[in-house]
Amino acid sequence: MVTVNEAKQKIIANVQALSVQTVEVRKALGYVLANDILAPMSLPSFRQSSMDGYAILDTDILEKDTILSLSGESKAGQTITQTLVSGNAIRIFTGAPVPDGATAVVMQENTSAENGTITIREFPVQAGKNVRNIGQQIQKGAVALEGGTFLSPGSIGFLHGMNIWEASVHSKPKVGLLITGDELLHKGDAIVHGKIFESNSSMLAAALEKEGIADLEIKYAEDDLESTIKGLSELAENNDVVLASGGISVGDYDFVGKAVEALGAKTIFYKVRQKPGKPLLFAKRNEKLIFALPGNPASSLVCYYEYVLPALRIMSGLKDPFLTTLKMPVKYAYSFQGERDEFLKGLIVNGEVIPLDGQESFALRSFAIANAIVYLPVEQNVVKEGDLVEVHLLPF
Ligand SMILES: Nc1nc2c(c(=O)[nH]1)N[C@H]1C(S)=C(S)[C@@H](COP(=O)(O)OP(=O)(O)OC[C@H]3O[C@@H](n4cnc5c(N)ncnc54)[C@H](O)[C@@H]3O)O[C@H]1N2
Ligand code: MOO
């Protein structure tokens, strides 16, 4: 048995980023950049107006209500940059090139136009006002995004804005899932006393989908050693990571541990001093990872978020793979007995976290409405209302 912290350290020590591939930036959402990207151009690449109004020379505006002559127009998309001569104003629109010679743009609300003249109702006008400078966002040749950056919708827009359409990213792990349990019913099956509807596969598939891992290979094994070995070895052939659900405890029909051993995989840890999810197993077979998740649904999902997800994120190239962690006051007192750290399904409301009712490992109802996991180490087994607790934000 290892502690929660030891288990996490063993994940970090045993998991590496996968190889690098080139992907279209548009398809790169959720991938992690393998190298720094240098800006191939400055942004903006020309001086742009940030307002609809008039381009002027700030030194022409010596008092309020200065009158200038209207001498042209610059609209967005215009390719010829005009030149502003002192004493004049050029009509300009947001995103349009600022004429050479102009030092500022006065927004049109602060002007009035009549008979070819423009009255500037603002004084003083600062040089540079409402002008986006060349390279203000990024200078050509500077690091635009660092290797290790998680590509978000914002990153995709930023890269396309610099005329970058492909990027080098770490591959995403391929994941296989082995569902064990003779008690499991599937969609369309008649309800039978003693059997339950299988729900871990769809729950884990949905969690993986959230992480950008969509093409999950799912197999089902009967509660016998041969079927479990076959399922695990086939999945390990085709995938980087194999998750097994159920059959990892000590019962006569729990075969996952024995199957992992029979496959010659190296167990990195088995059993974590935690509730739920005690019988979690992490093994490696060459570079393939095997996680045996406890069958209890809430145990399975806690183990996914706390250990599997960080491993998948390290493989995807992320440096900070764990759920976002913060300290927050707890809304109600909570205490527990026993020698295992606890992970509680929690709901954050108005800056406080509520430990939800129904923390048993078979119960998913609390998880269904949770937005966080509260981590209470055994040393913190009694918390009073308002005490600070460690909260791990669930990814939504
Ligand atoms: N004598 C002991 N018994 C148990 C121990 C122990 O230390 N000594 N540990 C308990 C703990 S803690 C856990 S957690 C469970 C883990 O058991 P398994 O991983 O072997 O899981 P199963 O026995 O196969 O199933 C447990 C539970 O979950 C339901 N289940 C299984 N698969 C699914 C699925 N795909 N969808 C929905 N529900 C599923 C299953 O019916 C059981 O109710 O062991 C304890 N026992
Ligand atoms: O380790 Mo189990 O998940 O407490 O029932």
| Ligand found nearest the CA of 293 | 1
* Per-residue pLDDT at 214: 87
* Per-residue pLDDT at 74: 97
- Rounded CA-CA distance 161/358 in Å is 49
Tokens at residue 50, please?
Answer: 């940030």
Residue 238 CA to ligand 2 centre (angstroms): 30
- Rounded CA-CA distance 354/333 in Å is 9
- Which residues, given as ranges, of the chain have pLDDT below 50? none
Coil, strand or helix at 201: helix
- In CATH terms, 325-393 corresponds, of 3.40.50.300, 1.10.260.40, 1.10.10.60, 2.40.340.10, to 2.40.340.10
- In CATH terms, 50-132 corresponds, of 3.40.50.1220, 2.170.190.11, 3.60.15.10, 3.40.50.2000, to 2.170.190.11
Q: To test the ligand 2 pocket, which listed residue (254, 278, 281, 359) has its Cβ within 8 A of the most ligand atoms?
A: 278
CATH architecture of 4-18+172-315: 3-Layer(aba) Sandwich (3.40)
DSSP 244-304: EES--SSSTT--HHHHHHHTTPEEEEE-BSEES-TT-EEEEETTEEEEEE-SSHHHHHHHI
> What share of the chain in percent tops pLDDT 70?
100
- For strands 372-376 and 341-349, give the pairing: antiparallel
Inter-residue contact 44 to 96 (CB < 8 Å): no
- Rounded CA-CA distance 38/98 in Å is 26
Q: What is the 3-state secondary structure (H, E, C) of 341-355?
A: EEEEEEEEECCEEEE
Coil, strand or helix at 13: helix
Residue 120 CA to ligand 2 centre (angstroms): 73
Query: What does DSSP assign to residue 313?
Result: H
AA identity, residue 122: E
Which atom of ligand 2 is closest in space to residue 362's alpha carbon?
5
* Per-residue pLDDT at 258: 97
The interface predicted TM-score (ipTM) is 0.98
Burial category of 244 from C-beta neighbours within 10 Å (exposed 0-12, middle 13-18, buried 19 and up): buried
- In CATH terms, 20-43+136-170 corresponds, of 3.90.105.10, 3.40.30.10, 3.40.50.2300, 2.60.40.10, to 3.90.105.10
- Rounded CA-CA distance 313/186 in Å is 30
pTM of the model: 0.93
Inter-residue contact 149 to 36 (CB < 8 Å): no
Query: What does DSSP assign to residue 357?
Result: S
Query: What does DSSP assign to residue 196?
Result: E
Q: CB under 6 Å to ligand 1: residues?
A: 179, 181, 183-184, 196, 198-200, 245-251, 254, 276, 278-279, 294-297, 299, 361-362
Using the structure block, give the residue that is written with the tokens 């009035």.
112
Tokens at residue 305, please?
Answer: 């978020």
Burial category of 104 from C-beta neighbours within 10 Å (exposed 0-12, middle 13-18, buried 19 and up): buried
Residue 81 CA to ligand 1 centre (angstroms): 72
AA identity, residue 320: D
Residues 122/124/126/131 CA torsion (nearest 10 deg): 10
Residues 190-199 pLDDT 10s: 999 999 999 9
- Rounded CA-CA distance 332/359 in Å is 14
Which atom of ligand 1 is closest in space to residue 277's alpha carbon?
14
* Per-residue pLDDT at 324: 98
* Per-residue pLDDT at 221: 97
| Ligand found nearest the CA of 254 | 1
* Per-residue pLDDT at 320: 94
Q: What is the 3-state secondary structure (H, E, C) of 112-170?
A: EEECCEEEECCCCCCCCCCEECCCCCECCCCEEECCCCECCHHHHHHHHHCCCCEEEEE
- Rounded CA-CA distance 349/329 in Å is 11
Q: To test the ligand 2 pocket, which listed residue (250, 274, 281, 296) has its Cβ within 8 A of the most ligand atoms?
A: 296
Domain limits of the chain?
Answer: 4-18+172-315, 20-43+136-170, 50-132, 325-393
276 cis-preceded (ω within 30 degrees of 0): yes
Residue 277 CA to ligand 2 centre (angstroms): 4
Please give the biggest Cα pair distance in the chain. Answer: 95
* Per-residue pLDDT at 396: 85
Residues 305-360 pLDDT 10s: 999 999 999 999 999 999 999 999 999 999 999 999 999 999 999 999 999 999 99
* Per-residue pLDDT at 249: 93
- Rounded CA-CA distance 105/53 in Å is 6
Using the structure block, give the residue that is written with the tokens 């059959």.
247
